[in-house]
Homo-oligomer: A and B are copies of this chain.
Amino acid sequence: MTPRRTDALSRERIVEAAVRILDEQGEGGLTLRAVTDRLATGRGAIYHHVANKDELLAAAADDVVRLGDAPIRELALAVFDAIDAHPWLGAQLARDPAQPAVLRIWKGVGTQLHRLGLTGTALGDAGAALVNYVLGAAAARRAPDEAARKDYLEALAAQWAGSDPDPVVQEAAALLSEHDDRAQFLAGVDIFLRGISG
């Protein structure tokens, strides 16, 4: 008569629970205890389906990065939007360059750049540049919601402007608090594409 799970545990269900916890409570909220509580199971059960917490995080990221066959600009935007929807994702993608989600991004970028006619070293250099840019931009986006992010940027700009009378710093600080993240991200992609074709 004790309340018990009816469905068996599985890697899928564990990853699903992890994603939900990450979305609701952020990186700090994902503990093995939170996962086992949500799944109403014992601590050690997780380790029958996932090697450790790092693998669980990588699996959660992989679950959430979905890339179609779209051209390069849309592909970059898809990564951007995934991070927008899951604020913990940026930090996770930056954490391990060998995780499945990152390899998938590499593959997508490589495929699209190849279609643009790049091969050999030029393809490798351009691919690395674009992937590093996308992941760098990803890691920089980590405020939980747009309002908090705006507050943060404004506070940062104020602090920054106050710390240095240099007019260049002043101008940069102003831009920091006013820019549109998504537009600026795309502007960066376009700089890249110009640099590649030019």
Contact = CB atoms under 8 A, between A and B. Distances in A.
Interface of A: 91, 94-95, 97-98, 103, 106-107, 110-111, 114, 119-121, 123-129, 131-140, 142, 152, 156, 160, 164, 166, 168-169, 171-172, 175-176, 179, 184, 187-188, 190-196, 198
3 smallest CB-CB distances across A and B, nearest first, come from: A136-B136, A195-B195, A129-B188
A89 to B, nearest CB: 13
A131 B124 contact: no
A78 to B, nearest CB: 17
Given A98-B152, A110-B171, 13 more contacts: A94-B136, A97-B139, A97-B140, A110-B168, A111-B166, A121-B179, A123-B171, A125-B179, A129-B133, A132-B136, A133-B136, A133-B188, A136-B136
A160 B103 contact: yes
Copies of this polypeptide in the complex: 2
Query: Chain A at the B interface: mostly helix, strand, loop or mixed?
Result: helix
Contacts of A120: 171, 175
